[in-house]
């Protein structure tokens, strides 16, 4: 299995398990705030550990629902910043709705953080 496939696989075998490191979690929250234009009050940093992924997904879902109410272009613009291609966006929405898309946003932000840490020699 290639590293890219490993990174994108949700669950304990994938990248979610890295949210148990404070540095990774803090950076992931910062990345999500930047990509989704959220403040600290809209996306508070969850506790390090098992529940971090779902806590982030819940807060991101609220933001995605706001963007969706604003219009498709607002949601598409946000997904461009998150780096979720339009075809993937459509598939994810069709398969699991905004809840699934919120999880994809958290995973993508986490992937960005892990890639930066790896290239910095800190992961």
For the stretch 10-63, pLDDT in tens is 443 477 888 889 999 999 999 999 999 999 999 999 999 889 999 999 999 999
Angle between helix 72-82 and 52-70 (nearest 10): 140
- In the predicted model, what is the mean pLDDT of residues 98-122? 94
Distance CA 75, CA 72 (A): 5
Provide the pLDDT for residue 105. 97
Provide the pLDDT for residue 7. 40
- In the predicted model, what is the mean pLDDT of residues 81-106? 96
Write down the mean pLDDT value for the chain: 88
Total domain count, the chain: 1
Angle between helix 86-119 and 52-70 (nearest 10): 140
- Which range of residues forms the domain containing residue 101? 3-119
- Percent above pLDDT 70 for the chain: 89
Distance CA 78, CA 65 (A): 12
Distance CA 47, CA 87 (A): 33
Q: How confident is the model at residue 123 (pLDDT cuts 50, 70, 90)?
A: low
Q: Is 82 exposed, middle or buried (0-12, 13-18, 19+ CB in 10 A)?
A: buried
Angle between helix 22-36 and 52-70 (nearest 10): 0
- In the predicted model, what is the mean pLDDT of residues 87-106? 96
């Amino acid at each position: 299995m290639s590293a890219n496939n490993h990174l994108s696989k949700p669950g304990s075998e994938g990248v979610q398990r890295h949210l148990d490191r404070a540095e990774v979690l803090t950076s992931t929250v910062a990345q999500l705030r930047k990509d989704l234009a959220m403040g600290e009050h809209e996306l508070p940093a969850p506790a390090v550990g098992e529940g971090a992924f779902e806590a982030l997904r819940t807060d991101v879902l609220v933001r995605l629902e706001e963007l969706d109410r604003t219009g498709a272009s607002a949601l598409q613009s946000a997904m461009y910043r998150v780096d979720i291609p339009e075809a993937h966006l459509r598939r994810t929405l069709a398969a699991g709705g905004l809840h699934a898309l919120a999880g994809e946003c958290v995973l993508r932000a986490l992937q960005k953080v892990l890639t930066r840490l790896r290239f910095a020699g800190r992961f």
